[in-house]
Structure 1
């Protein structure tokens, strides 16, 4: 009797053990399946294997557009995410009344591919003149998309005007006098050099009695808001180049014609600090970071370096022959710093961290940057820029450009302008580049794809901008030889 009871107990214990084991295994299998699904693994019926998918995030302006992938229309519209197997995929996005957008890009397993920059352009574009700006020499739109700054010569007197473009029907203008900072009746030439990040300050170069005078204009003050940077610099050596420091925090970077690079206060006693000597050219990023190219050494070479902390020594990154045509650009993308150097037809991209202290090795070279990619163009690179978000490096020339995408780590094909474009590559936003082809505004994406002809413009000395709602393009046109501010609608009502 006891034996039978013990056998029953053992059988019950065995059943419970098997039951619990099966339950645990089922839970583990279920969790494994859930993890695999969450990691994007799917059964690929075409290949007969389980593969990890990637995700494409599509976003368009305007949204609600139809999506086709590899020739197949899907049941989602922009803006949305789509899971896809790894590899090259052709995306086509369209909406009634707009030009079709298309691009072939790689989708990597386990990664998110951003296609959230799709700009749909109406087939029937309408451009409206908002007003004339008689005597305008140079006009640049500000980053807020609601204002522009123009320099005007009229009746022998030069002045600056702030143009308000908030109204979709007309502009309003506010005059800023240049005197007493400079004799505005003696100005023979004047141009806008830089609009600051905050939109409050603007750098202007004016030729007065045969000499260049650099002026910092405070657009929020109609009188007394102009600082003569050349006089404040107070040197017998003329200024070769000047740039506003970052978010306009009261400093200006000044390079004199002897190659001395300085940081000057714009207030108080205009104190200046010499940071680097023997500099030929420079570009800035943020408040204190810059990249520079030195003047030739006795060995007939030039150095490319970076400086982040104004109290640190400059860090040398590369040495190149003095005969090379050199350009530099720098920016930050996510948590890494990037420096691009073009020399003749080649462009080298470095990744790392901008030096914040003296971290050079015995040979004077900074090891915090490493080269990650190089690419070449068909012709010599005459200008090198990075997008505002830091994702793209664009090597440009008068005939076109080639770009490198830091997100996808790939080089684009050559993008060609319709005619020679003698200016620096111009960004409309972080993804779109604009130029003037045969007197008409043409926009293209960073890799040259999806070009659109927008409207006739006057490009010499002027810029182009999206409006503050990102629904229209603001540009400078001409009406009977008089410059005009014009607005081209990009979103159909």
Structure 2
């Protein structure tokens, strides 16, 4: 019997140990290969070992064909690709849509997400919703992009708004009558209503009503107009400006001509003084307030300050000017503040300044980065707060917070008004009487449809575009809807 033979037992033991050793080597080699593969290494028979990156690609609408360096990848969005690190030309194509293109650089062992492309139709199909004898005085969209509020005419004793449901755009609009008692200056010469902002409940909105010799502010309740509130009458005050607190309608900021800033509680009709000599201010989320004041400042200077939970903190000192730019937003749990005047040489951006000024060891906020687009007309955050864009005329400077990248570019022509953010990655506006749209970095510029104003809106899913156009006869103004779908994405008849 073999197991009783010492020589055979020794040979069997040796074979067993060799097998274990070979198995261990195989496992080690496999693990090493997998680790290097996970880190982005692969082997090419022509070039040897190469270093890869991971590329995620998506688009709206999906199903777009992916081309890299003009070569069809035989895949559609959404998709992921493991490719050799380097620079590439990425193109997305879909029947009926304009191509989307971008040059990109994929670094070794990195993950790059190109998930924001938006494909616009080659031949947008527009449809008239309603015609007006004169251009509407107000066209405004609720934050959830469902309710489109139109005021056909200013100067009425009891203004009659039209409320369109963007999810059912062909249905007749609801009528929202603002009661005449809500307006002290109803029907007076020069009477003009404008929208300051909607509350986050998508139901109430803050209106500014100006007329010859007067100014007042109204909280309009679109679902129950009779419960609308005249803030001047409620608080027995005549503010020069008003804003919502925390994007809600239960509290409002009221700014007087002498610079005194109050916080008013609507339910109790009570006022709380917040600060004096405020030149301009910007309400923020979380109850924060960013404002400019010349209180205690030397001649030729002003302070940018932050009000947090009743306490004031200094952000920076600015040269006094005729116009100030102050903005702030939160991105990935960090607060970013922007402060500049028209006399500033640069637009400074601060990251979490409250953390710095509250720290006794630092006690001062320092700029995180600066945009050199001085004298900018506007500075704004994209809808997802990832991008900060500054514009003056046809010149743009954009900072990508997530990727720490700056872009500067010029357009061939400038619009009558600055472009606005369409969403988290695109700017849109009226240039030369057409709807113009482009990516945050100036790429993929497209002209879509004619427009009579820079009031350009989308429904909740960005399927429909709404804007005003001048009728062919040049007499009527038309509220128009444009379907942004094409080809196979169009609804079947």
TM-score w.r.t. structure 1 length? Answer: 0.86
How many pairs align? 475
Going from structure 1 to structure 2, the CA distance change for 1:11 and 1:111 (only over 3 Å counts) comes to: same
* Partner Cα separation in structure 2 for residue 456 and residue 208 of structure 1: 32
Task: Specify the alignment match of 2:469 in structure 1.
Answer: 477
CA distance in 2, matches of 1:174, 1:118: 37
Offset at residue 102 of structure 1 (A) = 0.8
| Uncovered stretches (5+) of structure 2, i.e. residues with no partner | none
Aligned to 2:481: 487
Aligned runs of 1:231-310 on 2, under 5 Å? 231-235=233-237, 238-248=238-248, 250-267=250-267, 269-295=268-294, 297-307=297-307, 309-310=308-309
* Alignment partners' CA distance in 1, 2:85 and 2:197: 43
Structure 1 position 78, deviation (Å): 1.2
1:38-437 → structure 2 map (5 Å cutoff): 38-43=38-43, 48-51=48-51, 53-133=52-132, 136-153=136-153, 156-157=156-157, 159-164=159-164, 165-183=166-184, 184-186=186-188, 188-222=191-225, 224-235=226-237, 238-248=238-248, 250-267=250-267, 269-295=268-294, 297-307=297-307, 309-311=308-310, 313-323=311-321, 326-343=324-341, 344=344, 346-352=346-352, 354=354, 359=358, 361=360, 365-367=363-365, 371-377=367-373, 380-416=375-411, 418-423=413-418, 425-437=419-431
C-alpha separation between the residues in 2 aligned to 1:282 and 1:44? 60
* TM-fit CA distance, 1:398: 3.2
Higher strand proportion, which one? 1
Change (3 A) 1:303 1:7: farther
Q: Contact 1:67–1:91 (CA<8 Å) still a contact in 2?
A: yes
Give yes or no for the alignment of 1:25 onto 2:17. Answer: no
> Residues 87 and 105 of structure 2 are in contact (CA less than 8 Å); yes or no, is this contact kept in structure 1?
yes
Output one character per residue of 1:207-261: Cα deviation in whole Å (capped at 9) or x when no partner. Answer: 1342111111111113x232112333433xx423322223415112233222233
1: CA distance, partners of 2:43 / 2:262:
62
1:181 and 1:228 in contact (8 A); partners too: yes
Deviation readout 1:156-213 (Å, 9 max, x if unpaired): 4351514213334354131221421213222622211222333212111111342111
Answer whether contact 2:435 2:450 (CA < 8 A) is retained: yes
Q: How far apart are residue 131 of structure 1 and its match?
A: 0.8
2:154, 2:193 within 8 Å by CA — same for their partners in 1? no
The DSSP-based 3-state class of the residue aligned with 2:290 is: strand
SS of 1:143's partner is: coil
How has the CA–CA distance of structure 1 residues 88 and 181 changed in structure 2, closer, same or farther, with 3 Å as cutoff? same
Q: How far did residue 417 of structure 1 move?
A: 6.2
Structure 1 position 155, deviation (Å): 7.1
Partner SS state of residue 32, structure 1: helix
Q: CA RMSD in A?
A: 2.9
Tell me the distance in 1 between the aligned counterparts of 2:261 and 2:155: 38
Query: Aligned-pair distance for 1:121?
Result: 1.4
8 Å contact from structure 2 (residues 219, 249) kept in 1:
no
Aligned to 1:259, the other structure's residue is in SS state coil
Per mean C-alpha deviation after superposition, the further-off stretch among 146-155 and 208-217 is 146-155
Q: Matches of 1:352 and 1:177 in 2, distance apart? A: 42
CA distance in 1, matches of 2:397, 2:97: 27
Unaligned runs of 5+ in 1: none
Mapped contact 2:142–2:202 kept (Cα < 8 A): yes
Task: Give the match for residue 465 of structure 1.
Answer: 457
Q: State whether residues 199 and 249 of structure 2, in contact with CA within 8 Å, keep that contact through their aligned partners in structure 1.
A: no
